[in-house]
Amino acid sequence: MLYEDVTHGAVVAGWKFSTDGKVTANEAETIRDALRQINESHDTQVKMFVPGDSSNSHMTKNAPLYTFSLVFGLPVVTSMTVDPMEVRVDEVQETLDEAEKVPGQLWSDLEEHSDIFSGVDIGGPQTYLLCYGPLPKATLSAGVKHPSEDRENVRYNFHSVQDYTQQWLDTGVDGEAIASCRHGDVMPVDLSEEAVTNWLEKVADFDDPKVYMTVRFD
């Protein structure tokens, strides 16, 4: 989110728009405020996500944001630097189905407020992993929760949760990474039932492995 001062990760069903690194904080505010009104007129709940760190951008509103894309869509999950967050296939699909209902007129309305929507083939929504807030990093992994104090004793790789003091929280994930993003990265990710089944098969020696998102102040 714009000016977010807490580190977050998110899985979003939506659309990615290039900014070419030129959108300023002022322009982002204009888009955000217009989206609120447009959501009301269309009875939608589309949100604007600003990948990367915009926590101090309100101090230099005429300068470009530290991001090359904006994402608009519906969150599947969002999380701060707390315990690993499970990402469920059924929730991903339900959110994608809901995003499919967003009317095309919404984008036409937004185009009146910013050039980033001009001449873009909108297409259908995709699933993205992104992060925002101060020095953010987010990782999706297939595995099981694992105590940080025993991080040297894992079967695969340890994926930590780290807060703004750069202290590791009690619990991370032992597993295989599916996707990861840092700062302004926006990563398309396949979380269909077939894809997730394949990932979970890679860690099938665990009892009841799941897909988790871990978030850290990086």
Question: For the segment 134-160, what is each residue's pLDDT rounded down to a tens digit?
Answer: 999 999 999 999 999 998 999 999 999
Give the per-residue pLDDT at 74: 98
pLDDT score of 126 more than 90:
yes
Note whether 204 and 131 are within 8 A (CB): no
- Residue range 100-125: average pLDDT? 95
Average pLDDT of the chain, as a whole number: 95
90 versus 58: which is more confidently predicted?
90
Q: Is residue 56 part of a domain?
A: yes
Into how many domains does the chain fold? 1
Q: Is residue 111 part of a domain?
A: yes
Percentage of residues of the chain with pLDDT beyond 90: 87
Q: Which domain holds residue 54?
A: 14-78+100-126
pLDDT band at 162 (very low <50, low <70, confident <90, very high): confident
Give the per-residue pLDDT at 60: 84
Judged by DSSP in three states, 86 sits in strand
Give the per-residue pLDDT at 201: 98
Give the per-residue pLDDT at 168: 83
Q: Please list the residues that pair with 182 across neighbouring strands.
A: 137
pLDDT band at 15 (very low <50, low <70, confident <90, very high): very high
Q: Is residue 163 part of a domain?
A: no
Give the per-residue pLDDT at 3: 86
Note whether 176 and 97 are within 8 A (CB): no
pLDDT band at 210 (very low <50, low <70, confident <90, very high): very high
Q: What is the C-alpha to C-alpha distance for residues 8 and 179, in angstroms, rounded to an integer? A: 16
Q: Is residue 44 part of a domain?
A: yes
Give the per-residue pLDDT at 51: 97
Structure tokens at 28: 């982002």
Q: Is residue 84 part of a domain?
A: no
Q: Is residue 165 part of a domain?
A: no
180 versus 164: which is more confidently predicted?
180
pLDDT score of 82 more than 90:
no
Q: Is residue 52 part of a domain?
A: yes
- Residue range 83-110: average pLDDT? 97
Give the per-residue pLDDT at 84: 96
* Element (DSSP H or E) covering residue 126: strand 126-132
pLDDT band at 188 (very low <50, low <70, confident <90, very high): very high
Give the per-residue pLDDT at 163: 82
Of 122, 104, 212, 118, nearest to 160 (Cα)? 212
Q: Is residue 152 part of a domain?
A: no
